[in-house]
């Protein structure tokens, strides 16, 4: 058996991408730099666009005292249009990617169930790790740097009181109910229309499992839609440097550096530091322990994804770029199609890190001391809330009020401070979430041992169908010619 296996492996064609990489001669760094700079939508273009936007935005904020209110709104229009176009591809992308991934999992002998099991274990496990080290750092370090706010700061604006009371009406058990209800749509068409992505994902899994492929007409239609979406996404990624530039520039011009006090500075610093620990210490340790590869080199190669995530503040909108990066890293297609869409919806490590920080911030600024039971409840609710959070900008604000109210923390005027700076922290949360998805794909490839060869039967069947289709067309043409004669 082993000799037969060796013969098969020796006669199997090598992957074109790997072969080309091995045979491609190394060029001088400046030529590679210039080539990458010319390539539309390349990582280098996105990085340079982001850095340029940050430099201009901070320079304008620091030097101009009175920026016209319309200026950042108008500047953000190109970025907003690009982001809207990218979001428009997310829903059909999730549907087609999940259905085709489930079909590939069905075609595999045993790896399908293993991939699904380990994907969920990894995502839930890393979220729990993120919350644990976040709550430890908050209690040991960041809580001691925060100070109690004065009565003026705690006063609630009458315009905000109604919103706060509405959000405070939600109880702890509402989070649990919301999590489970988000999996099952009461109306599939309504779920698609309202962008209930988690419900759409579950529906796509069911449809993908029940479809009898690969000869199903519906499955062929889904592959055609997937091909069209890929073309559209490729074009939008070419425009990514322009979109990221205007998104970042417009948002940074609204940042008032003078309004950032001690407490707000600690909130921002604690949130970003916690995400930094998770992104540059916790995840790389897991990544290296399992794959034995350089985690930082891998992360940098996928920079278009996490830079787009920082610019868009939306894991869902970044999903097309994430999939493109995973394919460039030669992640097996079935893993990329399954783990990335699922991760964009439930792998919210950055959000999980942020919840304990902001809840403790609201407590300390009001002079409230939390006990061990409160911290335990915060951890449990943060895990569930991170799953329930939708992958769109600033969606965690509602759940923040819910968690705070559950541990007896009244929502005062300091919540308005959180709202004012949430858009900025949200970008780092999204970058952490997407980076976790990128790390997960390579880790899952190593754990499951799945390769593109495992699902080659599906690809071969598709090729066979196309060939048969071509042969049938030829026979029809020949028959018509004979009939004419």
Contacts of 433 (CB under 8 A, 6+ apart): 309, 315, 343, 344, 347, 348, 349, 350, 351, 391
pLDDT tens track, the chain, 485 positions: 444 444 433 333 444 444 434 444 556 656 666 676 777 777 677 778 878 888 888 788 778 777 787 888 888 888 888 878 877 887 887 788 778 877 777 766 556 778 888 988 999 899 889 988 988 888 888 877 776 655 544 445 555 555 555 555 555 566 667 667 777 888 888 888 877 777 887 888 888 888 886 678 888 888 888 888 888 877 887 887 888 788 778 777 765 555 445 667 788 888 899 999 999 999 999 999 999 999 999 999 998 899 888 887 788 788 888 998 999 999 998 898 888 888 887 888 888 898 888 888 888 887 888 888 778 888 887 777 776 565 555 556 667 777 787 777 776 666 766 766 777 888 898 899 999 999 999 999 999 888 876 555 444 444 444 444 444 444 434 544 444 44
Q: How confident is the model at residue 170, as a pLDDT?
A: 55
Distance of CA 176 to the CA centre of its chain: 22
CB 363 within 8 A of CB 370: yes
CB 174 within 8 A of CB 402: yes
State phi, psi for 293 to the nearest 5 degrees.
Answer: -120, 165
State phi, psi for 377 to the nearest 5 degrees.
Answer: -65, -40
CA dist 445 and 223 (Å) reads 24
What letter would DSSP give residue 141? I
DSSP class per residue in 239-299: THHHHHHHHHHHHHTT--GGG--HHHHHHHHHHHHHHHHIIIIIHHHHHHHHH-S-HHHHH
Question: Rounded to whole angstroms, what are the CA distances from 118 to 260, 308, 335, 446?
Answer: 42, 27, 11, 11
Contacts of 412 (CB under 8 A, 6+ apart): 154, 155, 156, 362, 366
Domain extent listing, the chain = 41-61+77-450
Q: How confident is the model at residue 40, as a pLDDT?
A: 74
CATH topology for 41-61+77-450 is 1.10.3860
Q: How confident is the model at residue 8, as a pLDDT?
A: 37
**Is 325 in a helix, a strand, or coil?**
helix
CA dist 102 and 105 (Å) reads 5
What letter would DSSP give residue 138? I
Note if the bond before 214 is cis, omega within 30 degrees.
yes
């Amino acid at each position: 058996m082993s000799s037969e296996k060796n013969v098969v492996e020796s006669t199997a064609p090598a992957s074109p991408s790997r072969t080309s990489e091995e045979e491609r001669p190394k060029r001088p760094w400046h030529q590679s730099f210039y080539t990458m700079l010319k390539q539309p939508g390349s990582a280098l273009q996105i990085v340079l666009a982001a850095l340029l936007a940050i430099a201009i935005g901070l320079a304008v904020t620091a030097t101009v005292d009175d920026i016209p209110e319309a200026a950042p709104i108008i500047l953000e229009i190109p970025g907003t249009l690009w982001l809207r176009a990218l979001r428009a591809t997310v829903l059909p992308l999730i549907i087609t990617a999940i259905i085709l991934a489930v079909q590939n999992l069905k075609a595999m002998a045993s790896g399908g169930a293993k991939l699904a099991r380990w994907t969920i274990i990894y995502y839930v496990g890393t979220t729990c790790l993120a919350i644990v080290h976040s709550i430890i750092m908050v209690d040991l370090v960041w809580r001691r740097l925060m100070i109690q706010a004065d009565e003026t700061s705690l006063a609630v604006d009458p315009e905000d009181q109604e919103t706060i009371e509405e959000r405070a009406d939600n109880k702890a058990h509402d989070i649990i109910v919301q999590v489970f209800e988000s999996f099952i749509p009461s109306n599939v068409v309504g779920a698609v229309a309202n962008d209930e992505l988690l419900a759409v994902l579950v529906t796509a899994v069911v449809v993908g499992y029940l479809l009898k492929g690969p000869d199903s007409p519906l499955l062929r239609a889904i592959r055609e839609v997937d091909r069209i979406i890929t073309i559209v996404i490729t074009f939008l990624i070419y425009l990514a440097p322009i979109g990221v530039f205007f998104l970042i520039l417009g948002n940074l011009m609204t940042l008032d550096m003078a309004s950032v006090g001690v407490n707000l500075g600690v909130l921002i610093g604690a949130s970003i530091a916690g995400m930094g620990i998770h992104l540059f210490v916790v995840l790389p340790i897991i990544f290296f322990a399992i794959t034995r590869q350089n985690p930082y080199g891998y992360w940098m190669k996928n920079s278009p994804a996490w830079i787009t995530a920082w610019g868009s503040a939306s894991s869902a909108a970044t999903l097309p770029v994430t999939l493109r990066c995973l394919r460039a890293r030669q992640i097996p297609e079935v893993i990329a199609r399954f783990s990335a869409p699922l991760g964009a919806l439930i792998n919210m490590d950055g959000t999980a890190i942020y919840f304990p920080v902001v809840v403790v911030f609201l407590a300390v600024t009001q002079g409230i001391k939390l006990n061990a039971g409160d911290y335990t409840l915060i951890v449990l609710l943060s895990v569930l809330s991170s799953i329930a959070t939708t992958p769109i900008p600033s969606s965690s604000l509602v759940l923040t009020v819910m968690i705070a109210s559950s541990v007896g923390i009244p929502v005062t005027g300091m919540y308005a401070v959180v709202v004012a700076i949430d858009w900025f922290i949200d970008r780092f949360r999204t970058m952490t979430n997407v980076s976790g998805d990128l790390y997960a794909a390579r880790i899952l490839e190593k754990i499951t041992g799945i390769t593109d060869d495992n699902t080659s039967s599906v690809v071969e069947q598709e090729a066979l169908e196309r060939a048969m289709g071509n042969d049938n067309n030829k026979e029809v043409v020949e028959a018509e010619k004979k009939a004419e004669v």
